[in-house]
Structure 1
Amino acid sequence: MSLRPTLDFLLYDWLKVGQLGERERFADHSRETFDAVLDTCERIAREKYAPFNRLVDTEEPRFDGEKVILPRATHEAHRAYVESGMVSAAQDYEEGGMQLPYTIEAAANGFFAVASVSIGSSLLTKGNANLLMVHGTGAQKEVFARNEFAGRFTGTMCLSEPQAGSSLSDITTRAVPDGEGFEADPLGPRYRLKGNKMWISAGEHELSENIIHLVLAKIPGPDGKLIPGTRGISLFIVPKKLVGTDGRLTGERNDVALAGLNHKLGWRGTTNTLLNFGEGRYPVRGAPGAIGYLVGRPHEGLRCMFHMMNEARIGIGMAATSLGLAGYYASLDYARNRPQGRPVGPAGKDPSQPQIRIIEHADVKRMLLAQKSYCEGALALLLYCARLVDEQHTGTPEAADEARALLEVLTPIAKSWPSEFCLEANSLAIQIHGGYGYTRDFPVEQYWRDNRLNMIHEGTHGIQAADLLGRKVTMEGGRGLQLLAGRINATIERAIQRPELAAYANQLGQALQQVGAATQAAWATGDPGDALANAVPYMQAAGHLVLAWTWLDVLLAIPADAVREVAVHQGRMRAAAYFYRYELPRIDAWLQVVARRDRTCADMPEEAF
């Protein structure tokens, strides 16, 4: 089974992406050019990624004392991706880009993630360069961002530290001015950094000429002490190898040293590193510390970095979704070909009768339908979010501001819901394979291992939930949530007019009321401790509401006379039916503890464990 037919339907029939060609920025594009991009990426993924997914899982990155060694297949896949132009696909023509809508870029990257998420598709490099295009100086754009888009350099984001984890207010990496005249460097105010960063994906490798690290660090105050909290954080460009203003390597190694490789459960094809900055292993220009260039203003580093983090969160949601789809396709193929058991009833008791394929068993259909409802629904949500990004950048001022507010609310859900429920889809894919699914003879165990990371990185599940209930649904007087409710109600009004969808519309309306009431009840005391005690159940319920809405909106793109006539549309109708009948009712239990501000977990004494 292929991802392409589902993408085509969601992009062209549901989101009407072809209409973006009417906007000035995308005037040179049409469905023909979009299809050419999708064709190219589908081919590269099929030829350079999919055949080596198991290889990069078993041949982990290793450090020989001088460099990190990756399989040749990884180098060839990276080269093919760079040569396709996808690193700079959404950039201006003047930047060597295609001015491609982000929606098409996100869809195209789905092919690579389904084929081998572990090999990667330069997600962090693009995010790194995009951040610099917004917050960097002219020289920083020219020397660093444009060389990342060209594929010469790759990029990382360096936030977490061993002692701080996700608590960025507790980072201790420090940056001090690099001598007199430090502000006059053409590449930006020059600092010396010293500290340690943990969990840095693609932090060391030989895939590119240089690695551009974006590093959060604190500038000491006049008393030499670090400013506490997040307000003291600044952002720095710290290249692995020093670069001149012409973009050429100077031949000097910066004081950025690999302290170790993390040996992971999954995503083994991508290096994950502990990096030491300024430890003195590579002394540079006769002074201690790694050289870094300030991005933006001092103490505004976290604001700048969120530009990259939000892009990464949508990318993680797409990665989780793609892995879920990969498992679904594998288990569907297995179920269609694996004979086992006989029909329920008298005929099934006759051992002389031939076995039936396991897809004919009701419980296997249940597990396949669950996967389909989770993964295809999540794919639609992620593409919808990507479409909002395009609206934010190219829509009217009013539409752009509305898209921004909607994305504030949807981004935590788009990152976290797929990472939880598409992981569950991978678990069901293993179950369908039975004992074989638990072995390395079949790919589904690797999909589960790869997907398990997505609930953790780019902000853990709990952090995303606290962000959603603690900030996003209340910011700007709750405007983002109100806009979302408005779009859900618009879908309900359209669906109520179609007899086959009316029951879902009514059920969705009730769920919307429940989430709205629970949101108000959670904050009734005004105490964040009460409200956030059940932030994760709130996010699960809000996510189920959003997915149910997404499914209903997708069904509205199916012509009424084609619902029962076309098998693929019937499949979408059944997947939505599964979600509404088996999944959406689960929000009752989640929202009960939210609305009651239940403190069962928050008040559990440590000694009672």
Structure 2
Amino acid sequence: MGLRHTLDFLLYDWLRAGELTSRSRFADHSRETFDAVFDTCERIAREKYAPFNRTLDIEEPRFDGEKVILPKASKEAYDAFAASGMLSAAQDYEIGGMQLPYTVESAAHTFFAMASVSMGSGMLTVGNANLLMVHGTELQKSVFALNEFSGRWSGTMCLSEPQAGSSLSDIVTRAVPDGGDFASDPLGARYRLKGNKMWISAGEHELTENIIHLVLAKIPGPDGKLIPGTRGISLFIVPKQLVDTQGQLTGVRNDVALAGLNHKLGWRGTTNTLLNFGEGKFPVQGQAGAIGYLVGRPHEGLSCMFHMMNEARIGVGMAATMLGMAGYHASLDYAKNRPQGRLVGPSGKDASQPQVRIIEHADIKRMLLTQKSYCEGALALELYCARLVDEQHTGEPGAANEARMLLEVLTPIAKSWPSEWCLEANSLAIQIHGGYGYTRDFPVEQYWRDQRLNMIHEGTHGIQAADLLGRKVVMAGGEGLRMLALRINGTIERAIQRPEFAEYANALGGALQQVGAATKAAWATGDAREALANAVPYMQAFGHMVIAWMWLDVALSIPAGAAQPPAHVGRLAATRFFYRYELPKIGAWLNVVSSRDATCADMPEEAF
């Protein structure tokens, strides 16, 4: 079944997204308006994105000494996407938005991610603008955020530094108050930034007339020294081109310079840059130092930036999901059309018989079913998280708070699980193609390369695992984990009422109990070093439990009955597969967590 059919079922039959139109914010909408959005996005993705996915992989961004050169298709795709209004789809009517539910916006983005993930669909720009709408001043919102939502400008997030990587407490980019005439600039307290930022996606290009960087930097203390750790971090708006209070370009280039392009394994259509701030290449008013406007209060930059980081993590999860889905559909099509070999009969193979299509072989079906269970399970999780966002913003206070807590717990899984297991799906897509799979004659090798970046994007696997076990499941006395358990138990109780799902209900209940016991055992000594030594196996088990829950909850939306249409047969088979082939894996992962096994932590460096 195609993506659109899958989305329709998950949105309308499972998540009941149509019921959101009963809320005042979405009252102008209906399923017809939602479907019209999908029609538009599907058309743009088909016409402007998919035909050029390979082009972007081959024609990497290059710097001619003055500007970054991208294929013509990149500009045409960006303009079509911006013109669709999807950059501001979830924003208020008053600022040019469509007031779409985030659930619908998230589903609409799947078409672009599946067609060409590295072409991009404004994920960082939207995240940048959304952060400013929460933490910026009214003028910062109108000048910067609204121009990003319109597509006139684009945005980035600048966190990592060459010497610090993901260790934000070790950043050394400095921001000192600008002592000139503009120290009290109406756009915000004005600072001069000096430092280097690495791995900045879309940090330099000609797709828009301006690029708005959100930069983490430290304001020195009275003694001129930087405050150690994350406490000293502040957040700044640093535009590539300086602007006035009306949002017009002043013609003055800010002191932000491209230091180099990173040439990546995948996502080659998106520029990835090393930027120098304040090196003096473009001095402003005769001084080195990039002009930056403080966002929020000094020393609270990291908490502001997490607004964008968490949004980006879910976005990476969706991108990973759709790359897996692209590989699944490509290998399914290949398996249906590629003749090879013969089926084994009771007496072996009969060479006199004609060859069969490879989809008739049991092992090919195993690989396809694995992909289906991973990718559609991950898609259900991402859309479920999107639905929680809508609940958080438009639900009753109690429901909104519950949604917020659930999102805290699920965000590390929404980012990490698809990036690991949809990578495995892409690997299986190559395997189904055989030797052709690792040639450029077929797209699956590119999907794998693009996918491999997602386990690192927006926080590595280890960082997500430490966040899950070290913070999320123990925060507020374990309240978030308790709320998640209540929801899972609700699914189990409904499943027990249907005999065909009793096996899965019992297995899921057992998995929930195992995860709960392992969580307690990991923290039994109160020693974080012991608890977190096996954080990644914990996250793998936790994620498998969550996806098993998704599949059972989805299956419960299928009406009971012996005769099911092929799409439902496929969903029920994927559910059965995940419970019989995948969920049992969690025991091995949780054994080392529960025993606080120190095999890895105690390995002496010299023994490697």
> TM-score under structure 2 normalisation?
0.99
In 2, Cα distance between equivalents of 1:247 and 1:208? 14
In 1, Cα distance between equivalents of 2:130 and 2:511? 37
Q: What is aligned with 2:434?
A: 434
Instruction: Within 5 Å, give how 1:34-183 maps onto structure 2.
Output: 34-179=34-179, 183=183
In 2, Cα distance between equivalents of 1:406 and 1:293? 33
Letter in 2 for 1:113: A
Shift of 1:565: 2.0
Q: What is aligned with 2:270?
A: 270
In 2, Cα distance between equivalents of 1:350 and 1:165? 59
In 1, Cα distance between equivalents of 2:182 and 2:229? 26
8 A contact 1:340–1:358 mirrored in 2: yes
Q: What is aligned with 2:400?
A: 400
Shift of 1:11: 0.2
Number of residues of Structure 1 aligned to a counterpart in Structure 2: 608
In 1, Cα distance between equivalents of 2:170 and 2:25? 42
Letter in 2 for 1:508: L
Cα shift readout 1:230-283 (whole Å, capped 9, x = no counterpart): 000000000000000010000000000000000000000000000000001111
Cα shift readout 1:30-67 (whole Å, capped 9, x = no counterpart): 10100000110011000100000000000000000000
Say whether 1:592 aligns with 2:591.
yes
Q: What is aligned with 1:292?
A: 292
Q: What's the secondary structure of 2:226's corresponding residue? A: coil
In 2, Cα distance between equivalents of 1:547 and 1:47? 33
In 1, Cα distance between equivalents of 2:208 and 2:34? 28
Q: What is aligned with 1:607?
A: 606
Cα shift readout 1:146-165 (whole Å, capped 9, x = no counterpart): 00001110000000000000
In 1, Cα distance between equivalents of 2:10 and 2:271? 33
In 1, Cα distance between equivalents of 2:345 and 2:352? 15
Letter in 2 for 1:305: M
Q: What is aligned with 2:351?
A: 351
> TM-score under structure 1 normalisation?
0.99
In 2, Cα distance between equivalents of 1:90 and 1:568? 31
Say whether 1:255 aligns with 2:255.
yes
Shift of 1:180: 5.1
In 2, Cα distance between equivalents of 1:472 and 1:92? 31
Q: What is aligned with 1:578?
A: 577
Cα shift readout 1:102-149 (whole Å, capped 9, x = no counterpart): 000100000000000010000000000000000000110011000000
Q: What is aligned with 2:187?
A: 187
Q: What's the secondary structure of 2:339's corresponding residue? A: coil
8 A contact 2:280–2:287 mirrored in 1: no
Q: What is aligned with 1:369?
A: 369
Cα shift readout 1:491-516 (whole Å, capped 9, x = no counterpart): 00000000111110011000000000
Shift of 1:287: 1.5
In 2, Cα distance between equivalents of 1:265 and 1:428? 19
Q: What's the secondary structure of 2:569's corresponding residue? A: helix
Shift of 1:601: 0.2
Task: Report runs of 4+ in structure 1 exceeding 6 Å deviation.
Answer: none
Shift of 1:349: 2.9
In 1, Cα distance between equivalents of 2:522 and 2:404? 25
8 A contact 2:327–2:425 mirrored in 1: yes
Letter in 2 for 1:56: L
In 1, Cα distance between equivalents of 2:558 and 2:46? 29
Identical counterparts, % of pairs? 81
8 A contact 1:342–1:348 mirrored in 2: no
Say whether 1:548 aligns with 2:537.
no
Q: What's the secondary structure of 2:197's corresponding residue? A: strand
In 2, Cα distance between equivalents of 1:341 and 1:34? 46
In 2, Cα distance between equivalents of 1:269 and 1:582? 36
In 2, Cα distance between equivalents of 1:349 and 1:14? 44
In 1, Cα distance between equivalents of 2:405 and 2:151? 33
Q: What's the secondary structure of 2:18's corresponding residue? A: helix
In 2, Cα distance between equivalents of 1:181 and 1:24? 47
Q: What is aligned with 1:218?
A: 218
Q: What is aligned with 1:422?
A: 422
In 2, Cα distance between equivalents of 1:165 and 1:439? 33
In 1, Cα distance between equivalents of 2:321 and 2:350? 42
Letter in 1 for 2:595: R
Cα shift readout 1:296-334 (whole Å, capped 9, x = no counterpart): 000000000000000000000000000000000000000
8 A contact 2:102–2:390 mirrored in 1: yes
In 2, Cα distance between equivalents of 1:138 and 1:92? 15
In 1, Cα distance between equivalents of 2:118 and 2:313? 17
In 1, Cα distance between equivalents of 2:249 and 2:564? 61
In 1, Cα distance between equivalents of 2:222 and 2:592? 48
Say whether 1:314 aligns with 2:306.
no
Q: What's the secondary structure of 1:236's corresponding residue? A: strand
8 A contact 2:372–2:574 mirrored in 1: yes
Q: What is aligned with 2:567?
A: 568
Shift of 1:182: 5.2
Shift of 1:181: 6.0
Q: What's the secondary structure of 2:329's corresponding residue? A: helix
8 A contact 2:282–2:288 mirrored in 1: no
Cα shift readout 1:62-94 (whole Å, capped 9, x = no counterpart): 000000000010100000000000000000000
Instruction: Within 5 Å, give how 1:190-205 maps onto structure 2.
Output: 190-205=190-205
Q: What's the secondary structure of 1:414's corresponding residue? A: helix
In 2, Cα distance between equivalents of 1:332 and 1:532? 39
8 A contact 2:189–2:293 mirrored in 1: yes
Letter in 1 for 2:527: D
Q: 1:95 to 1:347 in 2, by over 3 A?
A: farther
Q: What is aligned with 1:333?
A: 333
Shift of 1:559: 0.5
Q: What's the secondary structure of 2:119's corresponding residue? A: coil
In 2, Cα distance between equivalents of 1:605 and 1:346? 54
Cα RMSD (Å)? 0.8
In 2, Cα distance between equivalents of 1:92 and 1:208? 23
Q: What's the secondary structure of 2:155's corresponding residue? A: strand
Q: What's the secondary structure of 2:530's corresponding residue? A: helix
Q: What is aligned with 1:19?
A: 19
Shift of 1:353: 1.1
8 A contact 2:544–2:583 mirrored in 1: yes
8 A contact 1:182–1:191 mirrored in 2: no
Shift of 1:347: 7.0
In 2, Cα distance between equivalents of 1:151 and 1:103? 21
Letter in 1 for 2:602: D
Shift of 1:539: 0.1
Q: What's the secondary structure of 1:288's corresponding residue? A: coil
In 2, Cα distance between equivalents of 1:276 and 1:245? 25
Q: Which moved more, 1:172-181 or 1:199-208?
A: 172-181
Q: What is aligned with 2:465?
A: 465
Letter in 2 for 1:389: V
Gaps of 5+ in 1: none
In 1, Cα distance between equivalents of 2:346 and 2:313? 52
Q: Which moved more, 1:284-293 or 1:458-467?
A: 284-293
Shift of 1:346: 5.5
Q: What's the secondary structure of 1:184's corresponding residue? A: coil
Say whether 1:5 aligns with 2:28.
no
Letter in 1 for 2:578: F
Shift of 1:457: 1.1
Letter in 2 for 1:589: A
